[in-house]
Structure 1
Amino acid sequence: MTTESKETGMLLPVPDDDGAPFWSYAAEGELRVQACAGCGVRRFPPRPCCPHCRSFECEWQRMSGRGRIWSYVVAHPPLLPGYAEAAPYNVLVVELADDPSIRLVGNLVAAPDAPLGSVAADKLRIGAPVRAVFRQVGEGEQRTTVPRWVLERP
């Protein structure tokens, strides 16, 4: 679920009960994913029950924050109004180095506080190594910290 930021017009995450720990750890600068406390299988997105063993017990495992670009797209207008000024910008699917079955969606940026579109499209490559960085977005009660990605070797 998402809500719109009045500051930027961009959509912000709205944590649910299962995903709230993900966002809490992100606010601390940590990338963690849910894992089954019964069988140990990691899962993302977070959910109440393990799809492998059906256990409702889980834990949150810290990841290294490293991965590789598994897929990407460069968005161009027409877009939702809050995104039009940022275009063109990239949207990545990142496969985590710690567990290639876990893939996260985000943006590749030049630095944690850099704007969307701060990395030229010709720098994007499938398989390029990336690492997670974190940035606060939104304002007031809607303020949250989101993971973003930077190239390991720019």
Structure 2
Amino acid sequence: MTAMLQPEAEWRAHLAGGRFMIQRSRSTGGHVFYPRVAEPGTGAEDLEWVEASGEGVVHAVTVVRKKDPADNYNVVLVDLAEGPRLMSRVDGLPADRVAIGLKVRARIIEEGDTPLLVFVPA
């Protein structure tokens, strides 16, 4: 595995263990997501894994519409309390009821054999 893939593999291992972890620079205190080898903007390579609060707010949302409306789903950008923004979905509400500004909380679920990070209304 190359060094570029190592942080992603470690993040996925944390998810598989039931933990939502993000990286933080020891020198700047900035939180980072998507997993990387250096902090964007500063280049700091002193990233450590810390437990994320799981709290966030929907920044943007779109609904993917299917032939059967019961199959519609949402795709969201969530601003985490720690600062980074990530893409996911919100479960627990009809796709059309997810709105910008909705407070959400992270949840790790299994789909097939894969752990996924999704959000639910807070």
TM-score interval, smaller chain: 0.7 to 0.9
Amino acid at match of 1:104: L
Matched ranges for 1:13-28 at <5 A: 16-28=5-17
Partner of 1:150: 120
Distance 1:89 1:76 in 2: 7
Aligned-CA RMSD value: 2.4
Q: Which amino acid aligns with 1:107?
A: R
1:93 equivalenced with 2:83 (yes/no):
no
Q: Assess if the C-alpha contact under 8 Å between 1:29 and 1:134 holds in 2.
A: yes
**Are 1:63 and 2:33 matched, yes or no?**
no
Secondary structure of 1:26's aligned partner:
helix
Query: Could you tell me how far apart the structure 2 residues matched to 1:132 and 1:64 are?
Result: 8
Number of residue pairs the alignment of both structures matches: 119
Residue identity matched to 1:105: M
TM value normalised by structure 2: 0.83
CA gap 1:88/1:72 in 2 versus in 1, 3 angstroms: same
Q: Which amino acid aligns with 1:129?
A: K
**Runs of at least 5 residues in structure 1 that lack an aligned partner in the other structure:** 1-14, 79-83, 111-118
* Equivalent residue for 1:107, pick from 89, 99, 102: 89
* Partner SS, residue 53 of structure 1: coil
Cα distance between partner residues in 1 of 2:15 and 2:34: 14
TM-score by length of 1: 0.67
Runs of 4+ deviating beyond 6 Å: none
Q: Percent identity?
A: 29
